[in-house]
Chains A and B, each alone.
Chain A
Amino acid sequence: MIVTGILILMAVLFLMGVPVAFTLGISGAVGLWLVGGEGALMGLMATAPYRTTASWLLTAIPLFVLMAELLASSRITTLLFNTANKWVAHFPGGLAIAGIFTAAGLGAVSGSSTASTAAMSQSVTPELIRHGYSPRLAVGTIASAGTLAVMIPPSIILVIYGILTESSIGLLFVAGIVPGLLSVLFYVATVVIYVKRNPGEAPPAQRYGWGERIAGLKDIWPMMILFVLVIGGLYTGIVTVTESAGIGAFGALLLAIWFQRGRSFAALWEALRRTVATVAMIFAIVIGAHIFGYFMTLTGAPQHLLHLVDTLDMEPWTIILILLVIYVILGCFMDQLAILVLTVPIVLPMVERLGYDAIWFGIILVKTVEIGLMTPPLGMNCFVASAISRLSIGEVFRGTIPFVIAELVILTLLATVPGLVTWVIY
């Protein structure tokens, strides 16, 4: 009864527009007071906010965010784009495909989807439109491709999932590589098919010689080295997650200084502002979720849910299918981080009880996060792309439709063939 009442309170606060972090905190605090009385409430409130943040392991989050912000604000995006264009310009929609590979490259050294989208909306979208691409195709491609940073390691969402579930972040990163590359392939195919069906929306393809292609690679070797250091070090176990994030952020700082001679301090100061703002926002949600999670644990609700699943006369895959549909729908209306923090502690034990792997489920979940970033009404990437490119949000959402369809196909593939995720790690 109390749990139902608190869930209703939480839904009302969400819909009123109360920030997600505060909604979780208020609902959890009221619930704690009702279940455990003033003692339980005051005791948890006195310790939880500080204890939740005072963690060495969690330092990976600000460091990966800083790495993303430093790289997104440098010339790296343009360099990646120019290099990618030389390799794929001969395909139909070649420049848009170059945008997808740029996003993949940016995602490989940056774990923030919105930072990646913002950087590309500033530099790549205007180039696409200038070369004759329709604004819808240009901005739709960039808003969608920006989501690749969520899956391709190092991904901040995967770090948070790993911390929440106590899964190996290194394994999660490695497990994200194949689905990330699969997404790139499907996005490229989407652009090719779209341009073949709508030839008026993209200029004719052009071709570069092998000499120009290979010469272009010399501009991006620092990013390749950074990627190998961050992911290779983590995969081989030479460095911990925090150390990997530290190396990545420090390397990004050096690259930003190298690429932005003259204005590096201003860019660094701005990157620090954006990073602490994002970190404070993330941790406010984590604190709120911790308080709410404590309340849920006190009521025994997760155990009841597990018991309920045990008594259900359904095939495990049916339950997973229902969960995925719920996650995709939730992703349209709620922030992806909030969904993760709120649901994973309750849902994962159920998924594991059904015999599924936590790493596989994390990757599947992140795929639903990607879809949520590009679907109305809350697709954050679309809002970022719309704000920067000054195109209407409706136009951006229409532009992402072909990519959302591609994402749903990939999600189905990953859900039905778990080996695509797990063969690299086991």
Chain B
Amino acid sequence: MGPADTHDGAASGRPAPGRPLAGPDLWLGRAERLLLGIARIALLILLGMVVVQVTARFAFNSPAGEIVAITEAYIMPLMVFLALAYVQTVDGHVRVIVLYRLASGRAKHALDAVIALLSMGFWALVAYTGWSEVVFAQSLGYEVSHEIRLPLATALIIVPVGAGALSLRLLLSAVQDVLALVSPARAGDAHA
């Protein structure tokens, strides 16, 4: 259940040499690593907050409601959504490859392009509807909770940021596969 286990070598998120559109790939890779770094820090904060919560409950019999509210509103979404694009970069999303691995060369590029475009459509919709929710919450002045009097939009915006980054990664992958498809020389480079 841990695809990250099989991708130790692909942890950098850097583009493969000779891959088409290496420039945008490099910049997107940097953005993904930044988002991944934030997700890692969020996890560390979560650990610290749960320890504080346990201590507060047992030592002082006063669990901190703010910790639950912050974790729900910010920490969990940060961890999940900001790491989505990185997981895609290292091909870490679980998939069934029984038939996929039978394809080779140009057929694989064509299949990859279709998969990336379909997936991009879904996550772009998540990003768009997520952004609409941000605008809606901001227009009505919603707050995170009684304990956390920050605008709810500051929490909701995590979804379009993460889903948007994943959509860009998928779009770039689709374009790279199409370019590799129409240019067999590049296809060879990309597979090297």
Contacts and interface: CB of A to CB of B under 8 A. Distances in A.
Contacts of A14: 96
B39 to A, nearest CB: 4
Interface string B1-14: 11111110001000
Contact of B99 (A16, A19, A387): A16
B148 interface: no
A405 to B, nearest CB: 23
Given A15-B99, A21-B93, A284-B93, A276 B72 contact: no
Interface in A2-38: 13-22, 25-26, 29
Contacts of A274: 2, 4-5
A243 B3 contact: no
Interface stretch (B15-23, B122-130, B182-190): B122-130
Contacts of B31: none
A249 B54 CA distance: 13
B40 interface: yes
B171 interface: no
Contact of A62 (B43, B97, B99): B43
A335 B97 CA distance: 11
A334 interface: yes
B96 A49 contact: no
Contact of B125 (A29, A283, A383): A29
B92 A277 contact: yes
Contact of A273 (B11, B133, B155): B11
Interface residues of A, number: 73
B86 A277 contact: yes
A280 B71 contact: no
A25 B132 CA distance: 19
A269 B37 CA distance: 9
Interface string B67-108: 010011101110111011011001011111111100000000
Interface in B125-155: 125-126, 129-130, 132-133, 155
B118 A281 contact: no
Nearest to A11: B96
A281 B72 contact: no
Given A54-B73, A377-B98, A273 B40 contact: yes
A274 B6 CA distance: 10
Contacts of B26: none
A261 B114 CA distance: 48
B115 interface: yes
A29 B99 contact: no
Interface of A: 13-22, 25-26, 29, 42, 45-47, 49-50, 53-56, 58-59, 62-63, 65-66, 112-115, 117-118, 156-157, 239, 242-243, 245-247, 249-250, 253, 269, 272-285, 333-338, 377-378, 380, 383-384, 387
12 contacts: A17-B96, A18-B119, A20-B96, A42-B132, A53-B77, A272-B44, A277-B2, A277-B3, A280-B83, A284-B87, A333-B96, A338-B94
Q: What 9 pairs between A and B have smallest CB-CB spacing?
A: A17-B100, A246-B50, A19-B93, A280-B83, A277-B4, A46-B129, A114-B2, A272-B40, A45-B129
Interface of B: 1-7, 11, 36, 39-40, 42-44, 46-47, 50-51, 53-54, 57, 68, 71-73, 75-77, 79-81, 83-84, 86-87, 90, 92-100, 111, 114-115, 118-119, 121-123, 125-126, 129-130, 132-133, 155-156, 158-159, 163
